[in-house]
Structure formats: C-alpha cells, structure tokens
Amino acid sequence: MVETRKAFQVIAHIIMIMLALFCILPIILMITSSFTSEDALILNGYSFFPSEIDFTAYKYLLVDSTDIIRGYMVSAVVTVIGTTFNVTVTTLFAYPLSRKNLPGRRFFMFFIFFTMLFNGGLIPTYIMWTGTFHIKNTLLALILPNLLMNAFYVFMMRTYFTTNIPNAVIEATKIDGAAEFHILGKIVLPMSRPIIATVTLMAGLSYWNDWLNGLYYINTDKLYSIQVLLNKMLLTSLFLKSGLGKQILGSVGETIPTSAIKMAVAVLGALPILIVYPFFQKYFVKGIVVGAVKG
C-alpha cells in the first residue's frame, strides 16, 4: 500500500514539475530579455543566456520612478476597494440564488446571466457613468464600471453553495428560528472559505489587470494604474511601428520603448501579485468535516 502511494506521489510530482517548467520557462525568457541589451536582442533574439547584459530598461523605468510608484499605489487601492465590494455584492447575490425555494429564483438567474451575453457597448456605458454619475477622472471610475459585479463569479459561488452546503444544515438552523443574514454570516460563510478565497482572488486579478477603465475614464496621469501605464506604452509602440505610424515616427519627439523596456514593465506589473498570492493559498485548505450529515 505504502509503495503505491509513494509511487503515485512521485508521478504526481513529476507531472507537476513538468507543467511548472512548461509555464515558467517562457517567463524566464521574458525576464532575461528585460536585462539584455537592445542590440543583442536584435542580433541574437531572446535567449536564456544573454550575450550582453544591460539594465537600462530598469534604470529608465525606476529612475523616473514617481510614475511607477504612483501606478502601484493606484492599482493597490483600486484593487483592494474594488475587490471588497465585488466579493460582498457577489456573495449577497449568490446566497439567495442558492436557496432552492426562493420564488423567482430562475428569473434572477436569467437576469444576471443575460448581462453576460448582451452588452450595449462602450459608449452607452461610458455616457451612463460620466454623464449621469460624473465619475470621470475620479478613483470611482476605476472601480465602478463593469468590474463591480461579474455574473461568472455569482454562478460559481451559487454552485458552490448548493453543492457544498447541505440543505439539512440550513433547515436545522431555520427551525431554531435564525434569520437569513445570520445563517449567511454564521453558518454559510465559514464553510465557504475556499470559494470566497477563489472569488476574491479572481476579482482581485480582474481589478489588478484592468486597464480599459483607466484608458477610457481617466486622462489625468495622477490616476494611472500600473497596467494603464504599461498598456499605453505598448499601444503607442505598436502603433508607431505600424504602417501609419511609420510616416510620423521620425518627426515624433518620442522614443519607442525597446523590447527590453516592454519586458521590464511586464515583470513590474506581474510582480506584486506573485508576492501576494501565497497568502491566499492558506484558504484553500480542506474544509470542515460536517460529520453529522452522513450518518
């Protein structure tokens, strides 16, 4: 018995290691090219062993670091606030949907699902938020449009509630006369740590990675998040290299970010998440054994 268990462990580890290598090697390539000199990049392409090491990309980005630091702060604030709201609204919406006897349950599910498919487009949403609510160039513009609620997360949470929270438990508490909010807070949530952690993580990622809100709703550089900075740079360089851009390239008093700089900014953009992620993982712990249910 112990032999096969160990053998299985070894196989599992090998597979995971291969997968991890598969995932990480291209990233390593990206990192090494962020400190390779531009000439070496053109002559030899991206290499795991750069022929010419050169930190100009990082110097360029971090010497004038006020932009980057402010970018991080904006990203951090927006992500924390946005994620908190998102998870709250999602949980509050998903829990009632998980209660099978709720009248109109299917209607509400359809109500939210419909929004996943049909969309009025950027312009009406933009007009709504800027014209009616006047949030342009404010921090709210990075939090409210589109990201505050996601049908996907709602369905995931609802599914988790219906699958993993046995109805019997809820019924038992109700017989004791508990209110719904109480049930949600004291019974359901503690049993749902993994899904809450999941939604928090996913919502957090969607806020951290978002750059469209910043692009459309903000044009003061005081409120640019780190992703907006990165993507503006990428868009500019993509454009200036394209057909139309070529004609104006020479007369533009702007430098095109080198490949190294682009890689460097990608590294800087992803780094904070990698630092924070391990803290989330402790929530993905085996849940409570609800022994009383299965007799």
Partner 1 sequence: MRKSKKMLSLFLVFVMILSMLTGCSKESNESNKRNDSNETNVSEESDASKESDETRQDEISNQQNDLSDELSKQEPYVVKIAMVGDAATDDCNAVAEAASKITEEKFNTTIELVRFGYGSYMEELNLMLASGEKLDLFTAFRLSVTAGANAGQIIALDELLENYGQDILADIPKEDWKCTSLNGSIYGVRNNKELASGYGIAMVTEILETLETDITEIKSEEDLTALFREVKEKYPNVYPIVTDRGTMEWYNAYLDPLGGDFGVLEDCTTDSSEVVNWFDSETYKELVNVRHSWVTEGLMMPDPSTNSENATDLLAAGKGFSFISNTKPGIDGELERQIGKNITVLEITPPFSLTESLSNMWYIPPNSQSPDRAMQVLNEIYSNPELTNILINGLEGTHFEVVDEEKGIIDYPEGVDASNTGYSMAAWAWPNELISYTWTMDDPNVWTDTIAFNKSAINSKGKGFMWDSTAVLSEVAACTNVKAKYFNSINTGELDPEEAIPKFVEELKRAGVDTIIAEKQRQFDEWLDSQE
Partner 2 sequence: MNGLTARNNGMSGWEKRMASNIQKLKKIKQFIPLYLMMLPGVLYLIINNYIPMAGIIVAFKQFNYTKGIWGSEFIGFKNFEFLFKSPDSWLITRNTICYNFAFIVIGTIGAIAVAVLLDEIKLPFAKKVYQTIILVPFLISIVIVSYIVYGFLSTETGFINNCILKALGKEPVSWYSSPRYWPFILMIVHEWKWIGYNCILYYATIVGIDKGYYEAAVIDGANRLQKIKYITLPALRPTVIILTLMSIGNIFRSDFGLFYQVPMNSGPLIDVTNTIDTYVYRGLMENSTLGMSSAAGLYQSFVGFVLVLGANLLVRKFDDENALF
Task: Pick the closer one to partner 1 by CB: 145 or 204.
Answer: 145
Per rule CB under 8 A, count of chain residues that contact partner 2: 110
Task: Pick the closer one to partner 1 by CB: 243 or 278.
Answer: 243
Closest CB 158 distance from partner 2, rounded Å: 8
Closest CA to 32 of 17, 54, 61: 54
CA–CA distance, 139 with 85 (Å, rounded to integer): 14
Residue listed under structure tokens 């006020």: 66
Any contact of residue 247 with partner 1 (CB under 8 A)? Answer: yes
What is the DSSP annotation of 123-158?
A: HHHHIIIIIIS--TTSTHHHHSTTTS--HHHHHHHH
Residue from 221, 280, 284, 290 that binds partner 1 (CB under 8 A)?
221
Any contact of residue 234 with partner 1 (CB under 8 A)? Answer: yes
Residue from 15, 25, 28, 42 that binds partner 1 (CB under 8 A)?
42
Any contact of residue 175 with partner 2 (CB under 8 A)? Answer: no
Q: CA-CA distances (angstroms) from residue 90 to 101, 109, 150, 249?
A: 20, 13, 8, 47
Q: Residues 213, 86, 194, 103: is their CA dihedral positive or negative?
A: negative
Residue 184 binds which one of partner 2, partner 1, none, with CB within 5 to 8 A depending on kind?
partner 2
Helices (H), 129-283: 140-143, 151-164, 167-175, 180-182, 189-191, 193-209, 212-217, 226-241, 243-249, 259-281
Which part of the chain contacts partner 2 (CB under 8 A), choosing from 65-73, 104-112, 212-220, 246-254? Answer: 104-112
Task: Pick the closer one to partner 1 by CB: 13 or 241.
Answer: 241
Structure-token pair, residue 152: 């996907």
Residue ranges in 242-281 that form contacts with partner 2 under rule CB under 8 A: 259, 262-263, 266, 269-270, 273-274, 277-278, 281
- Per-residue mark of binding to partner 2, 43-62 (x: CB under 8 A): xxxxxx--------------
Closest CA to 205 of 150, 162, 253, 128: 150
CA–CA distance, 102 with 98 (Å, rounded to integer): 8
Angle, in degrees to the nearest 10, between helices 66-98 and 226-241: 110
Task: Pick the closer one to partner 1 by CB: 199 or 263.
Answer: 263
Closest CB 109 distance from partner 2, rounded Å: 4
Residue from 39, 51, 80, 124 that binds partner 2 (CB under 8 A)?
124
* Cβ-contact 183, 174 below 8 angstroms: yes
Any contact of residue 132 with partner 1 (CB under 8 A)? Answer: no
CA–CA distance, 37 with 34 (Å, rounded to integer): 8
CA–CA distance, 163 with 154 (Å, rounded to integer): 14
Any contact of residue 164 with partner 2 (CB under 8 A)? Answer: yes
Residue ranges in 10-29 that form contacts with partner 2 under rule CB under 8 A: 12-13, 15-17, 19-20, 22-24, 26-27, 29
Q: Residues 30, 32, 37, 42: is their CA dihedral positive or negative?
A: negative
Residue ranges in 189-218 that form contacts with partner 1 under rule CB under 8 A: 215-216
Any contact of residue 73 with partner 2 (CB under 8 A)? Answer: no
Residues interacting with partner 1, by CB under 8 A?
38-39, 42-43, 60, 64, 122-123, 126-127, 130-131, 215-216, 219-222, 232, 234-256
